[in-house]
A = this chain, B = another copy of it.
């Protein structure tokens, strides 16, 4: 079967909407059509043929547009969408994105009939926001003038709302995205197809899924297992409880299994399950910037006492371990940096500046009993200056097999250090709890890779 490459990598795109028609409730509206057109014109590097079904003479332009396009994006109510899909397929377009939902069972059958007849692929219906590719500027979302930075996190999302929120989150926090696809009702192209594509995509290093249900569980498991050998997959599952699962079923017409079944499938495939959107993005950033963690042992290096105790609590609570440093490492640290207590969590004392962080971090990273490091560097109650944080990526770069995450704990403190370390390879978290969840994801991927 034709792979969904044209979904992300069309040379040219035909966009069909209407400046007049609108669904009573839903996603085909003149305003949203105008927004998608705006985004395509502004960001897409190929040519976009914009056809307004609300105006005359569409048919003549349609032939030219379809002849030259690899992808058709249709933002019209069901009946009109089907009609244009059929025309486009007859004119040679092989891949379609159907934005609006609200299809009847009969209309779905018709879509599958057309798929078989013309050998086309369909994303949606109810895709809502379609696709986004930061490499070629493809952006069929109606979040006007919103485009995330280029990056290596690929996202597959079953909900327009969750996807829009992830997009907003990524833009606001400058998290780099490679590709983003909204799968909607998954009548044809599904998670397994997109996983396979993103697994091979050289721009994608980490894959994030938001899933409410899976239609081909066996295929998903097979594809996910293979992809995990190459790159990590994170999943946030909506409808994890019986009550909300019922709602998920009506939301995107998925076949919803019990949460235990999903959990077993995810575990078997080596897919890393997270609990909420913040953990999804925080873990994705960690996996995109840092190596997997190859053992459970975490060292905490901090210039404040209380927060390092909270970090130690979180390490243990999330099933990791507080690393036991060798006597040799401890002796070296305490000898070179008098006043530092080298028992993990390691207290560098409030007057620690970059040099002390650098020296201790290198000794800690060199210790065989340490698999990863959580650094805490507060400013407000200490002598630490934002630029001192530059020593952290430098020390981490010398030990490329051990992950390092950083917690400039607080509000303003976080933003001040983020201004320095944001573009670096060190992921940043505003409280220890979130950093430990990220290390847990790095550990899970380390374990998944070791198993293969």
Binding site for B on A (CB under 8 A): 24-27, 29, 31, 128-129, 142-143, 146, 157-165, 167-173, 210, 212, 236, 238-241, 243-244, 247-248, 250-252, 275-278, 302-310, 312-314, 316-317, 322, 339, 341, 343, 345, 347, 349-351, 378, 380-383, 409-413, 415, 430-433
Contacts and interface: CB of A to CB of B under 8 A. Distances in A.
A307 B278 CA distance: 13
Contacts of A161: 302-308, 350, 378, 381-382, 409
A317 B252 CA distance: 22
B162 A345 contact: no
A171 B414 CA distance: 13
A236 B432 CA distance: 13
Interface centre among A160, A250, A302, A380, by most B CB within 10 Å?
A380
A217 to B, nearest CB: 19
Nearest to A314: B276
A378 B164 contact: yes
Contact of A165 (B128, B240, B307): B307
Contact of A381 (B129, B241, B378): B129
Contacts of A171: 411-412
B411 A173 contact: yes
Given A24-B339, A164-B410, 4 more contacts: A159-B305, A162-B307, A167-B380, A168-B410
Contacts of A431: 276-278
B309 A212 contact: yes
A275 B316 CA distance: 13
A307 B163 CA distance: 9
B143 A380 contact: yes
A314 B29 CA distance: 33
B169 A411 contact: yes
Contact of A247 (B129, B162, B312, B411): B312
A227 to B, nearest CB: 23
Contacts of A345: 244, 247
A305 B160 contact: yes
A341 to B, nearest CB: 8
Contacts of A143: 380-381
A27 B357 CA distance: 19
A132 B243 CA distance: 47
Nearest to A436: B276
Contacts of A173: 411
Contacts of A339: 24-25
Can you list the 3 inter-chain pairs with the closest CB atoms, starting with the nearest? A172-B411, A159-B306, A161-B304
Contacts of A303: 161
Contacts of A24: 339
Interface centre among A251, A313, A339, by most B CB within 10 Å?
A313
Nearest to A144: B380
Given A159-B306, A172-B412, A306-B160, A433 B241 contact: no
